[in-house]
Amino acid sequence: AQTVTQSQPEMSVQEAETVTLSCTYDTSENNYYLFWYKQPPSRQMILVIRQEAYKQQNATENRFSVNFQKAAKSFSLKISDSQLGDTAMYFCASLNNAGNMLTFGGGTRLMVKP
Amino acid sequence: DGGITQSPKYLFRKEGQNVTLSCEQNLNHDAMYWYRQDPGQGLRLIYYSQIVNDFQKGDIAEGYSVSREKKESFPLTVTSAQKNPTAFYLCASSITGRLKDSNQPQHFGDGTRLSIL
């Protein structure tokens, strides 16, 4: 069974600054996928970024990037130049080896302050 | 526009009643999923279906039932056996049941909030 842990229930950041959200996971698989999802107040789940474990290069999507530390089983999300629209719940998730089930962490509520 | 439609947005249930949540997708996706989200918590998988007429239990299937008679529809029934049904329910779909095959592993609906009267 996979587990995903997000140790920061809530965080805040000033607009235009940088914030890092933490995520650790546990899996026995050698090849796996990790994701960050955003859930704004509208409750829609939006994929932010994904990382394939066999790729050493950290994934980047515009202002969003990850710090993937495979040995430490750590997968943090960095948001640069934070914007008010980044205010949301952020969920880290891992994909099982069969590729058909996602396991989600408990989420981090991020508030971007003007 | 293609997407996933969940209805209703809000649903109320009396004690001892079964209630069915609707999920329809026009994305031509093979796989569909139901998640439960409690306040301040992440999503937990209830049931999933990789193909029509087939479905599997997720982590918290007790007190729930599903059917997959059509590719585009995956209704979830919350039965009276589910002792704590108050939650937010999210439906999702993916192109295949193998989420590694797609850059967008799952598309999500807007959710249904179920409350007990």
Per-residue pLDDT of chain B (117 residues; tens, 9 = 90+): 569 999 999 999 888 889 999 999 999 999 999 999 998 778 999 999 999 999 999 989 999 999 999 999 999 999 988 888 999 999 999 887 666 666 667 889 999 999 988
Res. A100 pLDDT band, cuts 50 70 90? confident
User: Is the minimum CB–CB distance between B104 and chain A shorter than 8 Å?
Assistant: yes
CB contact under 8 A, B41 and A107: yes
- The residue assigned the tokens 């039932």 is B65
| Cα of B56 to nearest chain A Cα, Å | 11
CA atoms within 13 A on the CB side of A78: 12
Q: Which amino acid is at A100?
A: N
- 3 state SS for B58-100: CCCCCCEEECCCECCECCEEECCCCCCCCEEEEEEEECCCCHH
CB contact under 8 A, A106 and B103: no
Enumerate residues 1 to 60 of chain A having a beta carbon within 8 A of any beta carbon in chain B: 4, 6, 9, 33, 35, 42-45, 47, 50
Q: Could you tell me where the beta strands, DSSP code E, fall in A2-114?
A: 3-5, 10-14, 19-21, 24-26, 33-39, 46-52, 60-61, 64-69, 74-79, 88-95, 102-104, 108-113
What are the residues facing B23 on neighbouring strands? B6
* Other residues' Cβ atoms within 10 Å of the Cβ of residue B30: 16
A61-65, A67-71, A95-99: the lowest-pLDDT one: A95-99
Write the residue in B104, B105, B110 that is nearest to A44 by C-beta. Answer: B110
Q: Give φ, ψ of B103 to 5 degrees.
A: -70, -25
User: Is the minimum CB–CB distance between B16 and chain A shorter than 8 Å?
Assistant: no
The closest alpha carbon to A38, from A56, A64, A58, A12, belongs to A64
Mutation to test the B interface, candidates A50, A51, A100, A101, most B Cβ within 10 Å: A100
Q: What is the pLDDT of residue B81?
A: 86
Q: Which chain B residues touch A109 with a CB distance below 8 Å?
A: 40
CB contact under 8 A, A100 and B110: no
CA separation, residue A71 to residues A1, A59, A66, B51 (Å): 18, 17, 15, 36
Q: What is the pLDDT of residue B104?
A: 64
| Cα of B81 to nearest chain A Cα, Å | 25
* Other residues' Cβ atoms within 10 Å of the Cβ of residue A38: 21
CB contact under 8 A, B43 and A43: no
